[in-house]
Structure 1
Amino acid sequence: MDVKKNIKEFEKILAGTGCRLVAVSKTKPNDLILKAYETGFKDFGENRIQDLVAKYEILPKDINWHMIGHLQSNKVKYIVSFVHLIHAVDSFKLLKEINKQGAKVSRVIPCLLQIHIADETTKFGLDEKELFALIESPEFKELQNVQIKGLMGMATNTDNKNQIRAEFKYLRTLFEKVKNEYQQPGIKMEELSMGMSGDYDIAVEEGSTLIRVGSAIFGARNY
C-alpha cells in the first residue's frame, strides 16, 4: 500500500470541494503515519485513547490528532491537553466532562456533536430532539471550555446509496439549522464530519467538510 500516493490522490479528489481528509490511523504502525506526514499531511484520526496518547508522545508534535471513536468520560483527561478535535460527543454528560478537564489545562476544546443518523442501534449519537435540548439548555451556555464546531455522523452500513445519501442530507440539514439559528458563544459551526472509506464520495457531494478515511489510505486494518 503506497501511503504517500494515496494521500496525494485524496488531496486531488477533494481539491476545490471545501472538504478535507482525516486519515484514520487506528491499528496502524507509526512508520506508516510518518510516510503520510512526510507529504505535509497532518490530520490523523484515532478511536482508542491509549493508542492516541501513545502516538502523540512519539510522533511529531505538529500533528492534528482527531479523536473519532466513542469516548468514555473517565478517559477525557488523557487527551485534553493536545487533542485537535473530538468528533464523537454523544451526551451532555461527556460534554460537561470535556469542559471540566479543559478548564484544568486552560484550553477551550473543539468538539463535534455526534448525531445518530443510521438505521442501526449499535451506533452512538444524539437524536434531533436531544441535539436541540442540549444546545438550548441554560447549563450548556455556562460551559466555558468547550466549543461546538459542528456535527458528526455515521451512515448505515449498507449498499443502498439512496439511503446513505438521505442520511447525510438529513445531517446537513441539522448542521445548517444550528448554524443559522443558534449564533451564540460556545457554538461556531464550521465542520460537518461525515463519510468514510466506503461512502466518502456521497458525503462530499452532500456537503461534508471532513471525511474519515482509513483503509483506502493505509490498507486493511490489523487487529
Structure 2
Amino acid sequence: MNSGSNIASNVEEVRKRIAAAAERGGRKAEDVHIIAVTKTMGVDVIKEAVDAGVYDLGENRVQELMEKYDHIGGGCRWHLIGHLQTNKVKYIIDKVSLIHSVDSLELVQEIQKRAEKAGKVMDILIQVNVSGEESKFGISPEQVRDFLLGINGYKNIRVRGLMTVAPFAENPEEIRWVFRDLHKIFIDIKQERIDNIYMDYLSMGMSNDFEVAVEEGANMVRIGTAIFGRRNYT
C-alpha cells in the first residue's frame, strides 16, 4: 500500500484525471463526485483522504462500515457500495447517505421497512448488471424500467439513479460500451419522469476505468487503489 503521505497527492492526481475526462465528455469536473473506497483501510489512513477533501466514503461490507463509522466523525457521507443482504439493512439504515447496490424487490422492501421505522427517506441506486457476467450482482438492463415502475410507490425510499460494476479489463476501452449502455438507460429513464424516481446519480467507474466512465457520463466514481494504493489482503 502507498504510504499515508502519498494520499493527498493521489487525491489531487485523481481530481486532475477526472477534470480532463470530464472536459473530454463536455462536462465540468465539479459535477463528478469521488467516493473513496475504504475497504480494508484503517481509520488513520481514511482520515488522510478526508483531510485531502474527500468526504464521501464507500464501504463494501456492513461490518467494516460499522467499525469505522464512529471513528471517522461527522462531516462525511457514507455509501454502501457492496452487495447488501436483507438481514444487514437494519445496521446501516441510520448511517449511510446512499445505498448503491439495490438489486432486488426483497431488498427494496426491507429498506422501506427499516427506513419507515427510522423515520427517514433512504436514497438508493439500482445496480444494473450491464455486462451480464454471472459473477456480478444487479438486475438486467431489460428489467430496469419495469423494476422502477414496481417500486416507485414506496414512501420511505427515493431512487436517485443507477450503478454498475464493469468487468475488469487491462484496456478500459474494451468496456467503454458498458458505461455507454448504462448512460443511455439513465437518460431514457430520466426523460420518462417517473414519480419518485430521480436520475441524479450515475455511479460507475473504479480506479482502473474511471476516466472512460466519466467520459461516458458517470457523475459518481468509486476510487480505492488510485487513492490508497494497493490493498494488503490477509
TM-score, shorter chain, exceeding 0.5: yes
Partner of 2:206: 196
Cα deviation for residue 160 of structure 1 reads: 4.8
Report the structure, 1 or 2, having the larger helix content. Answer: 2
SS in structure 1 at match of 2:96: coil
Q: Normalising by structure 2, what TM-score?
A: 0.90
For structure 1, which runs of at least 5 residues remain unmatched after alignment? none
**Matching of residue 111 in structure 1 with residue 121 in structure 2:** no
Residues in 1 aligned to 2:53 and 2:178: alpha-carbon distance in whole angstroms? 33
For structure 2, which runs of at least 5 residues remain unmatched after alignment? 20-27
Cα deviation code 1:107-161 (max 9, x no counterpart): 1111000000125210000112321221122xx2331111110000011222354
Partner of 1:159: 170
Letter in 2 for 1:27: T
Q: Normalising by structure 1, what TM-score?
A: 0.94
Range 209-218 or range 2-11, more displaced: 2-11
Cα deviation for residue 63 of structure 1 reads: 1.0
Partner of 2:11: 7
Q: Which runs of structure 2 are paired with 1:131-146 in the superposition (5 Å)?
A: 131-137=144-150, 140-146=151-157
**Matching of residue 53 in structure 1 with residue 57 in structure 2:** no
SS in structure 2 at match of 1:84: strand
CA RMSD across the alignment: 1.3
Runs of 4+ with >4 A deviation: none
**Matching of residue 126 in structure 1 with residue 139 in structure 2:** yes
Residues in 2 aligned to 1:85 and 1:65: alpha-carbon distance in whole angstroms? 7
Cα deviation for residue 203 of structure 1 reads: 0.2
SS in structure 1 at match of 2:75: coil
SS in structure 2 at match of 1:167: helix
Partner of 2:87: 74
Whether the aligned pair in 1 keeps the contact of 2:130 and 2:178 (CA below 8 Å) is: yes
SS in structure 1 at match of 2:205: coil
Whether the aligned pair in 2 keeps the contact of 1:119 and 1:156 (CA below 8 Å) is: no
What is the aligned residue count? 220
Cα deviation code 1:68-121 (max 9, x no counterpart): 000000000001112011011011111111111001111111100000012521
Partner of 1:206: 216
Identity %: 40
Residues in 1 aligned to 2:13 and 2:94: alpha-carbon distance in whole angstroms? 32
Partner residue of 1:39 out of 36, 52, 64: 52
Residues in 2 aligned to 1:119 and 1:170: alpha-carbon distance in whole angstroms? 12
Cα deviation code 1:28-47 (max 9, x no counterpart): 00000011111232111100
Residues in 1 aligned to 2:107 and 2:16: alpha-carbon distance in whole angstroms? 36
User: CA 1:49/1:132 → structure 2, altered by over 3 Å: closer, same or farther?
Assistant: same
**Matching of residue 174 in structure 1 with residue 185 in structure 2:** yes
Cα deviation code 1:43-62 (max 9, x no counterpart): 11100000001111221122
Letter in 1 for 2:161: G
Residues in 1 aligned to 2:92 and 2:205: alpha-carbon distance in whole angstroms? 24
Partner of 1:92: 105
**Matching of residue 21 in structure 1 with residue 34 in structure 2:** yes
**Matching of residue 222 in structure 1 with residue 229 in structure 2:** no
Residues in 1 aligned to 2:50 and 2:18: alpha-carbon distance in whole angstroms? 18
